[in-house]
């Protein structure tokens, strides 16, 4: 059959007698041979067997597990073509809301392999598949793929997936370990083993030996996130944003952007587009990734003087707020503060915004910033920079900002935070009124 188009998840779509057949790993225009895997009332799902007539954009996947593992879905696509497709998807979503950017800048790019410094790896003990499985789900269904390595994970752990399988297989508690959380900073990396029952002395000894052989730190998580305790090495991780001269500490379970190089460029882009001045508000501020970079453009580290730039970060997770405050102290930034506030709560921001805001940065979750916009009354901040990980919610919110709140979309750029997947980050610059702000 012939693949007619590609859907938002990067799967090819064929028309088979009025029914849609979705086929991962295919490209529009290709003629392919497909094995049916699943049928529903509305559509079918198939597995690629053979490419009979390849598209010019097709490349050989680097990872030997690509066709089985669901962690990546676009390794078969040329990087330029991949970004063009993602950009077209974002622009189409905006156009559906009647929003057209005045300028589309080149996408922010970074490493395509070994880039992922955060991941939650599933763990299952399946004797029928050779014992322990560690990694991501298969492309079809909810079972874990059989992996020995991962090309996109950080080099500290990507080549060691087979070793992790052997380690879990050796544990007495192998059937009671549902996941391993991985996090890497600039100088160290941690594996957090979630375990449903207490570990015996023999298992902790095996984990210590693995840590010594691999150079990885190891921590244990017997319950919720607050229960994490170190077994080998500490829990403190950090990364630098060299262009701003700051360093941010984080906990292995904290949210941080997975691609360090792309994140650094994204922060630089956002701060440049924001043009920090006056009172700046950073909503969904996390550990201070954007907030501290903005603040660094005001008071120099260690200075004790009044500064016209004042930055406030607001975050709903109180633990992340404490981490952000510690990061501000760590970098000796005195023109910044952080507050814990439920940004989804009705009227939560109205009083804060009523005090006046000159610049606003938004970095919401996939659901977007709808509640924030409810509290944003005209005239509003002069400039808004909106960082998004979900094109549909971005389009919805930009439509409201442009058509209902008096902003224009002056610039847009994509950031390829998750190469080889359908996920894409966008950074949008909005300026109040019909003309360029003098700020």
Lowest mean pLDDT among 42-46, 152-156, 264-268, 393-397: 42-46
Where do we find the tokens 């941010």?
248
Packing angle of the helix pair 201-214, 161-170 (nearest 10 deg): 160
Contact 385, 362 (CB under 8 A): yes
Taking the C-alpha atoms of residue 71 and residue 145, their distance in angstroms, rounded to an integer, is 9
pLDDT in tens, 10-68: 889 998 888 999 999 999 999 999 999 888 888 899 999 999 999 999 999 999 999 88
Kindly state the average pLDDT of the residues 380-396: 96
Distance of CA 227 to the CA centre of its chain: 24
Q: What are the b/e assignments for 19-36, b being 16+ CB within 10 Å? A: eebbbbbbbebbebebee
User: What pLDDT is stored for residue 299 in this prediction?
Assistant: 52
User: What pLDDT is stored for residue 350 in this prediction?
Assistant: 82
Contact 217, 164 (CB under 8 A): no
Question: Exposed, middle or buried, 229 (CB in 10 Å: 0-12/13-18/19+)?
Answer: exposed
306-310 contacts: CB < 8 A, separation 24 or more?
A: 307/335, 308/277, 308/278, 309/276, 309/277, 309/278, 309/280, 309/335, 310/278, 310/279, 310/280, 310/335, 310/336
Taking the C-alpha atoms of residue 412 and residue 228, their distance in angstroms, rounded to an integer, is 39
Contact 218, 208 (CB under 8 A): yes
Task: Give catalytic residues, as residue numbers.
Answer: 389
Q: Which helix (H) or strand (E) holds 34?
A: strand 31-39
pLDDT in tens, 141-163: 789 999 999 999 999 999 999 99
Kindly state the average pLDDT of the residues 180-195: 98
Kindly state the average pLDDT of the residues 413-418: 97
- Reduced to 3 states (helix: H, G, I; strand: E, B; else coil), residue 138 is strand
Taking the C-alpha atoms of residue 416 and residue 425, their distance in angstroms, rounded to an integer, is 6
User: What pLDDT is stored for residue 353 in this prediction?
Assistant: 83
- CB count within 10 Å of CB 71 equals 24
Taking the C-alpha atoms of residue 367 and residue 361, their distance in angstroms, rounded to an integer, is 16
- Reduced to 3 states (helix: H, G, I; strand: E, B; else coil), residue 292 is helix
pTM, full prediction: 0.92
User: What pLDDT is stored for residue 305 in this prediction?
Assistant: 43
Taking the C-alpha atoms of residue 34 and residue 14, their distance in angstroms, rounded to an integer, is 10
């Amino acid at each position: 059959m012939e693949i007619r188009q590609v859907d938002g998840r990067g799967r090819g779509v064929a028309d088979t007698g009025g029914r849609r057949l979705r086929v991962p790993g295919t490209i529009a225009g290709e003629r392919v041979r497909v094995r049916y895997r699943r049928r529903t009332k509305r559509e079918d799902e198939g597995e690629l067997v053979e490419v009979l007539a390849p598209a010019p954009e097709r490349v050989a996947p680097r990872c030997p597990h690509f066709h089985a593992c669901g962690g990546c879905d676009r390794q078969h696509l040329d990087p330029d073509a991949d970004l063009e497709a993602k950009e077209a998807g974002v622009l189409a979503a905006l156009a559906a809301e009647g929003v057209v950017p005045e300028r589309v800048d080149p996408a922010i790019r970074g490493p395509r392999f070994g880039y992922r410094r955060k991941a939650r790896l599933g763990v299952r003990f399946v004797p029928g598949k050779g014992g322990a499985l560690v990694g991501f789900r298969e492309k079809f269904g909810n079972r874990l793929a059989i992996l020995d390595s991962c090309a996109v994970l950080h080099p500290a752990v990507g080549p060691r997936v087979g070793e992790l399988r052997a380690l879990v297989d050796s544990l007495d508690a192998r059937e009671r370990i549902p996941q391993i959380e991985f996090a890497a900073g600039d100088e160290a990396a941690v594996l957090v083993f979630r375990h449903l029952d207490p570990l015996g002395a023999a298992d902790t000894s095996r984990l210590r030996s693995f840590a010594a052989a691999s150079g990885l730190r190891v921590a244990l998580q017997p319950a919720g996130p607050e229960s994490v305790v170190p077994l080998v090495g500490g829990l403190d991780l950090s990364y630098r944003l060299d262009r701003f001269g700051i360093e941010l500490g984080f906990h292995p379970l904290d949210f941080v952007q997975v691609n360090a190089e792309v994140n650094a460029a994204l922060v630089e882009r956002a701060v440049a587009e924001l043009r920090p001045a006056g009172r700046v508000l950073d909503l969904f501020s996390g550990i201070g990734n954007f907030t501290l970079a903005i603040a660094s453009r005001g008071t120099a580290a260690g200075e004790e003087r009044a500064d016209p730039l004042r930055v406030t970060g607001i975050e709903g997770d109180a633990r992340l707020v404490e981490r952000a405050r510690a990061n501000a102290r760590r970098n000796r930034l005195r023109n910044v503060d952080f507050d814990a506030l439920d940004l989804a709560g009705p009227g939560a921001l109205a009083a804060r915004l009523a005090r006046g805001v000159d610049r606003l940065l938004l970095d919401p979750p996939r659901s977007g910033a709808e509640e924030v916009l409810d509290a944003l009354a005209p005239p509003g901040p002069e400039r808004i920079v909106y960082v998004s990980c979900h094109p549909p919610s971005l389009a919805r919110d930009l439509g409201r900002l442009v058509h209902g709140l008096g902003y224009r979309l002056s610039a847009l750029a994509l950031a390829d935070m998750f190469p080889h997947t359908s996920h894409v980050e966008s950074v949008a610059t909005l300026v109040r009124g019909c003309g360029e702000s003098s700020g």
